[in-house]
Amino acid sequence: MNNTLQFERMTIKSYGEIYDMWNSIQGIGVSDADSKEAIERYLERNPSSSFVCYEENKLIGTILCGHDGRRGYIHHTCVLPEYRGRNIGKTLVEKALEELKKEGINKCHLFVFYDNELGNGFWNNVGWEKRSDLLIYSKRI
């Protein structure tokens, strides 16, 4: 891995560039749950398990991760296309899971759109098990 990569905990101060990156990545679904206020609340509740990656002061990767006290959840794991293939995504995942483990969380779930071939391939390649026994239900409140 290149020594110029900097992995840091995600903070709200980088929200603008993080949000812009999420909007630019095919397969990442951005919604009102990703507003600055919502992400700030998420990071306050989960201050140690979300990370960003920079190279030469340019944001090139993110992982939004937290837990509910029982299970961990990963959202918005992405690396800019021109930086893929350098284990950046894998490192972001390892860092997030390491933090969850420190907090006593022993299982983590994540969400990938069914038709996101790149994302599904990534998670399969880094050893995650695709579940076929669960359905996700959502309701706007």
Q: Is the pLDDT of residue 118 over 80?
A: yes
What is the predicted pLDDT for the residue at 136?
87
Domain ranges of the chain: 5-125
Q: What is the pLDDT of residues 10-64, one digit of tens each?
A: 999 999 999 999 999 999 999 999 999 999 999 999 999 999 999 999 999 999 9
List, as one string, the DSSP characters of 36-62.
HHHHHHHHHHS-SS-EEEEETTEEEEE
Q: Which of the four pLDDT bands, split at 50, 70 and 90, describes residue 5?
A: very high
| pTM (2 d.p.) | 0.92
Q: What kind and span of H or E run contains 140? A: none
Distance CA 100, CA 38 (A): 20
CA geometry: angle 82, 128, 74, nearest 5 deg:
70
Q: What percent of the chain has pLDDT over 70?
A: 98
Q: Which of the four pLDDT bands, split at 50, 70 and 90, describes residue 2?
A: low
CATH class held by domain 5-125? alpha beta
Q: What is the pLDDT of residues 70-96, one digit of tens each?
A: 999 999 999 999 999 999 999 999 999
CA dihedral of 10, 45, 131, 19, whole degrees rounded to 10: -40
